[in-house]
Amino acid sequence: MKKLTFKLLCKKSIICLTCVLFASMSFSEESISKDVTSEKLVSVKEVSPEQKEIVLTIQDAVDYSLKNSVSIKTAQIDLELAKWKKDTAWNSFIPTVQTTGTFARKNELTPNPLMPVSETESMHWNVLGNLSISFNFNVAMIQQMRATIASYESGKITWEQALLNNEKTISQLFYGLLLQQESLKLQEDSLENARGRMNQAWTNYRNGYVPQISYLQAQVAYENQVPVVEKLRMQLSQSLDSFAFLIGLPSNSKIKLQGEINPAIITLDVEKLLEKGLSDNLTVRSLDEQLKILKLQANAGDLSCFTPSLALSWNGNPLITNAFDTDWGNSDNWMDQGSFSITLAWNLTNMLPWSTTRSGIKELKDNVSKLEIQRDSMIRKVELDIRTAVDSLKQCEQAINTSKRNIDLAQKYYNLTWNAYQNGTTEYLDLKEAQMQLDQAKLSLLSEKYNYMMSLMDLENILNTKLSGDK
């Protein structure tokens, strides 16, 4: 669900950028339906009062998602279960205690010819009790308990991974929306500039500085940009609604994002990052814990095969033969048939290499070998991902600096062209071209800043740590 939503938002952002770059290139002569002489200067439309909105920072969005994320809730339940198993791992050493009681009547008594007695009803009834305590121990039980504790540590890493992935996903979506929002703002500014150019063209036409066609070109450009801006506004509104739903806000919530795409450029030491990444990367740590668990389980299996098991047992079986005789202290009426035993057992069958137990242990050890190979491969991948992310950050930094210089140049070019157009010494198409170059430079800077932040998030996710930089 999250991945699908992220893809949709990215597509919408791409649409915004494409529209900004090429909207002003479209011309439609059919949009001119009125006579030039009846046209008036266009004024900015009044904005209706805004509805009450929920202002969201990036941290607010992450917090909302933590409360409503299905994956987070599931991971939390798994972690609580693992903790309960860890806290009760010692219970395998608890003796087994069982007690029973029986109250029974014999239909007939066995006569004793040596000691004839008068038969009474109470002699038909007897009470039998049982109290048994048993304890089994094998050295393998210690390793099994350690494996259970290690499973909890693995669960904590899984929980940490769920939190980190959720924060990364929500943050990327948040800044994707900011990109879409800023792109719309640039397009709105471009629309306002188009309105100003159309009004200036009208003034120049009325004063005889330019021909009618020059004004018509300006009008077409403005009219063509109006529906583009409206469409982008609708797309942004839909994206915000989808985002609100994703983080768990009510369906009718109207949100407003608070933030900007303005990363602080940071200096990175690749070698230090590699060292930190290999020690703190959650995927590598998770594989380490899984290896630890499998090794403990395999060791427990070996111990269960090659070491004996000790069993201690005590049974108490008091029997009262004359249940209704109040003189229970009479030794003739009761006896204890209990016992105590110590047993040392050694399963020789489990020692055979083709036994079921040994086959299971062989499978565990093979899984250990495969996991070690997987861990080595993951370490190499982490190193590659870190280097790739750093290279991407450096490339984005260069692109940001280039875009800033291009904006300065494009702005100077536009100012000179605008002054010339006001004086009637240059054509409208020259002015429009200057505006397009300025818009493209601003979009390029915005896009490169966004790319820098995405690369920085990728690097932080790999390192499992926050790096300095404003967000």
pLDDT tens-digit readout, 114-168 = 555 556 666 667 777 788 888 888 888 888 899 989 989 988 998 999 999 999 9
Interval 217-238 mean pLDDT:
91
pLDDT tens-digit readout, 12-31 = 444 444 443 333 333 333 33
d(CA 371, CA 431): 64
Burial of 203 (0-12, 13-18, 19+ CB in 10 A): middle
* Residue 41 pLDDT greater than 80, yes or no: no
* DSSP helix/strand/coil, 92: helix
pLDDT for residue 2: 40
3-state DSSP of 158-227: HHHHHHHHHHHHHHHHHHHHHHHHHHHHHHHHHHHHHHHHHHHHHHHHHCCCCCHHHHHHHHHHHHHHHH
* Residue 371 pLDDT greater than 90, yes or no: yes
d(CA 315, CA 322): 22
pLDDT for residue 168: 92
d(CA 183, CA 200): 26
* Residue 427 pLDDT greater than 90, yes or no: no
What is the DSSP pairing of strand 54-56 with strand 255-257? parallel
The tokens for 262 are 């303005």
* Residue 327 pLDDT greater than 70, yes or no: no
pLDDT tens-digit readout, 290-315 = 999 999 999 988 888 888 888 888 88
The tokens for 431 are 């002015």
The tokens for 357 are 């137990």
Interval 452-468 mean pLDDT:
90
For 255-316, list the strands marked E by DSSP. 255-257, 309-316
What is the DSSP pairing of strand 255-257 with strand 318-320? unpaired
Interval 378-392 mean pLDDT:
94
pLDDT for residue 120: 63
User: What is the residue whose two structure tokens read 């330019």?
Assistant: 210
pLDDT band at residue 48 using 50, 70 and 90 as cut-offs: very low
Architecture of domain 2-26+53-107+121-463: Up-down Bundle (1.20)
pLDDT for residue 119: 61
pLDDT for residue 212: 86
Mean pLDDT of all residues in the chain? 81
* Residue 9 pLDDT greater than 60, yes or no: no
Lowest mean pLDDT among 160-169, 188-197, 262-271, 351-360: 351-360
Q: Specify the pTM.
A: 0.73
Interval 85-112 mean pLDDT:
78
pLDDT for residue 284: 93
pLDDT band at residue 39 using 50, 70 and 90 as cut-offs: very low
Q: What percentage of the chain carries pLDDT values higher than 70?
A: 80
pLDDT for residue 29: 33
pLDDT band at residue 323 using 50, 70 and 90 as cut-offs: low
pLDDT for residue 129: 75
Q: Where are the domains of the chain?
A: 2-26+53-107+121-463
pLDDT for residue 107: 67
pLDDT for residue 421: 81
